[in-house]
Copies of this chain bind each other. A is one copy, B any other.
Amino acid sequence: MELLWLIFDLVGTIAFAVSGTLVGIGRRMDIFGMLVLALATAIGGGIMRDLIVGNIPPNSLRTGVYVTIVIAVTFIIFLVYRLRRNHYIGTRWVRQMYLAADTLGLASFTVTGAGIGMYNYPDMPVLSVILGLLTAVGGGVIRDILAQRVPSVLREEVYALPAIIGGIVYCAFYHWGMWQIASYSSFIIVVVIRTLAIRYNWSLPRIK
């Protein structure tokens, strides 16, 4: 299990580092502002997750791997952008890259959050689902608050919902002893629901 969990954690970290950097670029931040925003987005949700289950110090700070990845992602995107004069990057392409990265991060961190919950407290499925939700949306909430945007989790129509469904699916399969299927199916369900919601502009009931 360890390795699979680690892979999802790294994928989520890279994805949220990309989304944080892109928001930083959109806000015309300098390179260190972007780095701080990418760091907060990529490791913020995981740190909250680890604090809540008493995983001290948080996983992402025990080695230099996570921070190195975030720094690399930020610098690569920054450099690519500086070369814009030659190779034009359209706003639409950026928007789509942002949505893809955000969706990947949402799905990966739903898995790591629900996974760390069930691993530490197998008899607390509610804790695990909430941990999946918190880990998945936590980094993005920090990113949006720092960048003074309305948090995606409150603005986007279908954002918290896939993370909650993904967490429930994870807990069910894990409970039946299929933790590998739990990870894969949870990840796929979040990606599919979120992607369909963006593509077809799904909306949920609200007060008029």
Q: Which chain A residues have a beta carbon within 8 Å of chain B's beta carbons?
A: 24-25, 27-33, 35-37, 39, 47, 51-54, 56-58, 61-64, 67, 78, 81-82, 121, 124-127, 130-131, 133, 137, 141, 145-148, 150-151, 153-155, 157-161, 164, 203-207
Contacts and interface: CB of A to CB of B under 8 A. Distances in A.
B206 A126 contact: no
Nearest to A126: B64
A153 B27 CA distance: 13
A148 B39 CA distance: 21
A126 B61 contact: yes
A61 B127 contact: yes
Q: For the complex of A and B, list the 4 residue pairs with the smallest distance between their C-beta atoms, beginning with the closest.
A: A54-B56, A30-B204, A64-B126, A30-B206
Contacts of A63: 124, 126
Given A31-B206, A33-B206, A61-B131, 5 more contacts: A36-B137, A51-B51, A54-B57, A64-B126, A82-B205
Nearest to A206: B30
A25 B57 contact: no
B124 A36 contact: no
17 contacts: A25-B207, A27-B154, A28-B207, A30-B206, A31-B204, A33-B206, A35-B160, A36-B160, A52-B57, A52-B58, A53-B56, A53-B57, A57-B127, A61-B127, A82-B205, A145-B146, A146-B154
A9 to B, nearest CB: 16
B127 A36 contact: no
A98 B194 CA distance: 33
For A127, A130, A150, A206, the residue with the greatest tally of chain B CB atoms inside 10 Å of its CB is A206
A32 B126 contact: no
Contact of A160 (B32, B56, B130, B155): B32
